Structure 1
Amino acid sequence: METRDVASLISKIREKVNRFIVTEMAKNGVDGIGTSHGDIIYALFKAPRLTMAEISKRIRKDKSTVTALVDKLVRLGYVTKERDIEDTRVVHVAVTPKGRELEPIFESISQEMLSVFYSSVSDQEKEDVLRILKKIYDNF
């Protein structure tokens, strides 16, 4: 493997992590949502009510993509949407009780994924890889 293969390797790791997460969600009875949906729900665990613009910024996806993802989560009953009373252009998204039930499942899957992800990786290597990946990310 050559240093020029790093972007391909990162992409393959991302695919494996996403596949792992989706498989584990299915094992826990959570079907029909992908990792991008999970990003939105996870953001709402931290702040139970966000605007579409805030979600877009937090998960680093464009607003049209976020709209489609949120609409599916609404149909599945995990979140609600409501227009702002003062500015009807603004849409607020909130996690529902059904969505809140996903929190321990997401946390368990996250811990399991990180355990696999960092298996045989030292604490120093974890810090190094994070530092290097942040540098690469900032290059774009």
Structure 2
Amino acid sequence: MQYRSIFAYAGRLRALGNDMIVAGLRQRGVEGIVPSHGDIMHVLLRRESCSLSELAGRIGRTKSTVTVLVRKLEKAGYVRRAPDPADARGVRISLTERGRALEPAFREISDELEKHIRERLTDEEAARLEALLARCAGIAEDGDGVVGESGDKPGRFR
């Protein structure tokens, strides 16, 4: 049996989710944020600050990719860089007040994404699909749900 459609279906679901995120942000008047910023924002909403390396590890992206994404968020006024007191060469990334103020919008958009799934799948089906996709993507799973290599559960708003 061949499973050629799995990647196509996963890609379509991701594109649909990204479209929903963009529309949700637009409806709420949020500018300068795109779906690729979601994982960074999720991590920073849960932590006081992170180094670029920490952030890259937590979201499964390269440090150079995270640097580009953080620069865009910084330019839009959502994050700030500060010297790392533990490493003279390093910087810490944290949310500004403007960035923290986005949490309710992110929560609402995440709820809309989950509603889309709940309207189509039972809770059991959705949990199974999440676990299967995580396994196919090479992401570890623990008793609390899907987690990345560093132990962070992927962000709800992506």
TM-score (structure 1 length as normaliser): 0.91
> In the aligned structure 1, how far is the partner of 2:102 from the partner of 2:131?
31
Structure whose residues are more often helix by fraction: 1
Aligned length: 138
RMSD over aligned Cα atoms: 1.6
- What is the CA distance between 1:91 and its match in structure 2? 1.4
> In the aligned structure 2, how far is the partner of 1:26 from the partner of 1:48?
27
- What is the CA distance between 1:122 and its match in structure 2? 0.8
TM-score (structure 2 length as normaliser): 0.81
| 3-state SS of 1:14 partner | helix
| 3-state SS of 2:30 partner | coil
| 3-state SS of 1:138 partner | coil
Number of the residue aligned with 2:88: 88
> In the aligned structure 2, how far is the partner of 1:100 from the partner of 1:135?
32
What are the ranges of 5 or more consecutive residues in structure 2 without an aligned counterpart?
140-158
| 3-state SS of 2:80 partner | strand
Number of the residue aligned with 1:105: 105
What are the ranges of 5 or more consecutive residues in structure 1 without an aligned counterpart?
none
- What is the CA distance between 1:89 and its match in structure 2? 2.6
Relative contact order (alpha carbons < 8 A, sep ≥ 6): 1 or 2 greater?
A: 2
Number of the residue aligned with 2:119: 119
- What is the CA distance between 1:62 and its match in structure 2? 0.5
- What is the CA distance between 1:38 and its match in structure 2? 2.3
Instruction: Write out the 4+ residue segments of structure 1 that deviate beyond 2 Å after TM superposition.
Output: 85-89
